[in-house]
Amino acid sequence: MQEMRESNRRYAEEFARGDLPSSPRKKLAVLTCMDVRLDVQRMLGLDLGDAHIIRNAGGSLTEDSVRSLLISSLLGTEEVVVIHHTDCRMRDVTEDELRTKAAQKTGAIPPFELGALPDLQQSVRATVAEIDESPWLIFERVWGFVYDVSTGLLDEVVGRKDP
C-alpha cells in the first residue's frame, strides 16, 4: 500500500487533467473483462477522457454494467465495443463449477450468476445481442471483438451500425 501511496503522490505532482469532462470525448463505451492482461486504452489507441471503460469478470452484461452503460448513454455515448478475450478464466469452467468453488471458499452459494463463458465467439454475440435487445440501452453502433492475449490483436466477431 505504501508503494501505491507514493506512486499517487508522484502522479498528483504532475497531474494536469483535472479539467476533463465526464462525458467520453469519442462518445464510446467499452465493456470488457477485468483480466489484468487487457490494457484497453492502449489496445484501442484511447487517451484519458476518450471512453468509459466498464470491466467485470468475463466482460458480461450484468445488472451493474447495464446501469453503467445507461448512465454512459445519458452522458452522450453513441457506440459500444464489447471485448472478450482468449485464455479467459471464466471460459475454463461451467457455471456449476464456479458456484461450487464459490461455496467452498465462502461457505455459501451465490444467489446470482457468476457468468461462465463456455463459447468465446458465442458469448461475444450474446452480449452484443443483449445490448441490442435491452430497452435501456440505445446506441447507434455496437461491436463485439475477441482479443488474443498472446498476439495483442482484436478479431471482430459482430458489429451493428445504426439502429
Task: Report pLDDT digits (tens) over 71-89.
Answer: 999 999 999 999 999 988 8
Tell me whether strands 28-33 and 51-56 are parallel, antiparallel or unpaired.
parallel
Residue with cell 475454463: 92
Phi, psi of 116 (to 5 degrees): -60, 145
Please give the CATH architecture assigned to the domain spanning 24-161.
3-Layer(aba) Sandwich (3.40)
3-state secondary structure of 28: strand
User: φ and ψ at 8, to 5 degrees?
Assistant: -65, -40
Element (H or E) spanning 144, and its range? strand 141-147
**Cα first-last separation, the chain:** 46
Mean pLDDT value across residues 131-148: 96
101: three-class secondary structure by DSSP: helix
Alpha carbon 62 to its chain centroid, in Å, reads 10
* pLDDT, position 76: 97
Paired residues of 84 in beta bridges: 146
Q: What percent of the chain has pLDDT over 70?
A: 98
pTM greater than the 0.85 cutoff? yes
- Average pLDDT for the chain: 92
Q: Once rounded to an integer, what is the mean pLDDT over residues 20-48? A: 96
User: Do the beta carbons of residue 70 and residue 135 sit within 8 Å?
Assistant: no
Give backbone dihedrals phi and psi of 91, rounded to 5 degrees, phi first: -95, -20
Q: Tell me how far apart the alpha carbons of residues 74 and 64 are, in angstroms, rounded to a whole number.
A: 15
Distance CA 62, CA 143 (A): 17
